[in-house]
Amino acid sequence: MTANWQGNGGLVAATVLGLALLLALPQIVDPVMMIELTSYVIMAILALSLGLIWGYGGILCFGQSAFFGIGAYAYAIAVINFGDSTIPLLLSIVVPGLFAALLGYFLFYARITDVYFGVITLTVTLILYKVMGATSGSQYVIGVAPLGGYNGIPAVPPLNLPGRPDAALSFDGLFYLSGLMLLAVYVGLRLMLKSRFGQVVVAIRENERRAELLGYDARFYKLVTFAIGGAIAGLAGCLFANWGMFISPDVFGLAQSAQVIIWVIVGGTGTLLGPIVGCFAIQWVATKLGAQQLLNANLVLGTILIGFVLLVPKGVVPTVSDALRRLKFRPYVATLVEQRRVP
């Protein structure tokens, strides 16, 4: 009972802290920084999706940006055709989730191993990049929405209040919505991982053969986890299309796929907080490096990644958590950070 209270207390504390930051940040930062923070929050949702699939499901996916891009394109195409954003928002979650389920079905039930799974998902992403890039002609139209090829889809209509296309969200409104979505995804995943389903998923990650001998269909649990991660990535894609009011095949690019993996590695796998921390930290560093001409940004980021892999292989959050535990802060830290644990 005490452990349950500590876990629920930590979740409540994280929720309150998240809401406090969400309300306070717009009051203390300038508008330009607010735009940057909004992109950080959106990408943190994408990082969480891979944190679930890889960190807890043990599924090495190199193509998480595929679901991100599908969600963005699904929203952009649908909102241009419908006008109102309510249905397009739902489609941006459902379509990539179904695509992930379909792809995962063929891969998991074919018993594709981890390395080949990563290669196939990356290949699918690059195929989508090429396919969408080849849609520049006037004949490539879905409804009234031109796909635009490598030029992308400009002037994507923003989200609006349900049933009110004239009540579009402002940039501040998009920040609040993105922050609430990040908080909702984080809390939802925490609760899911505490459930019987989540415990089985972690058990399969630790020892798939043992879980199957106990009667669990590892393929089914992996498939559902993969589909949930795809749907979350699609939500991030929808918000990203709103943030830039533009979407292009670059969302399927190799750079986009790689940076999601970097965020999770730096923050730490096997946690939900880690991908968020890694995403915010790396994006902030990349922004600062991009503002100067002295150092090559890609070289510095590559050096950081190599340093973390060699010196901090667990990532920031698990390493800090272990250090605090050694300082006898175990009861407090255990409520905030989810470490790898066999149920």
From residue 221, give the alpha-carbon distance in Å to each of 48, 67, 218: 18, 19, 5
Could you state, in order of their start, the residue ranges of all structural domains in the chain? 18-253
CB count, 10 Å around CB of 338? 25
Nearest Cα to 100, choosing from 265, 251, 229, 238?
A: 229
Q: How far is CA 15 from the centre of its chain?
A: 18
**Any idea what DSSP says for residue 165?**
E
From residue 25, give the alpha-carbon distance in Å to each of 18, 19, 217, 253, 286: 11, 10, 45, 31, 21
Distance CA 127, CA 122 (A): 9
| pTM for the structure as a whole | 0.90
- Token pair 């409540």 is found at 12
- pLDDT at position 335 is 55
**Per residue of the chain (343 residues), what is the pLDDT tens digit?**
444 444 566 788 878 888 888 888 888 888 888 999 999 999 999 999 999 999 999 998 998 999 999 999 999 999 999 988 899 999 999 999 999 999 999 999 988 888 899 999 999 999 999 999 999 888 899 989 999 999 999 989 999 888 888 888 888 899 999 999 999 999 999 999 999 999 999 999 999 999 999 999 999 999 999 999 999 999 999 999 999 999 999 999 888 888 899 999 999 888 999 999 999 999 988 888 877 767 777 787 788 888 888 888 888 888 888 887 777 655 555 555 554 444 4
- pLDDT at position 342 is 43
What are the residues whose beta carbons fall under 8 Å from the beta carbon of 222, sequence distance 6 or more?
57, 59, 104, 108, 201, 204
- pLDDT at position 5 is 43
What are the residues whose beta carbons fall under 8 Å from the beta carbon of 69, sequence distance 6 or more?
125, 128, 132, 237, 247, 249, 251, 252, 256
Contact present, 118 and 61 (Cβ < 8 Å): yes
Q: How far is CA 68 from the centre of its chain?
A: 8
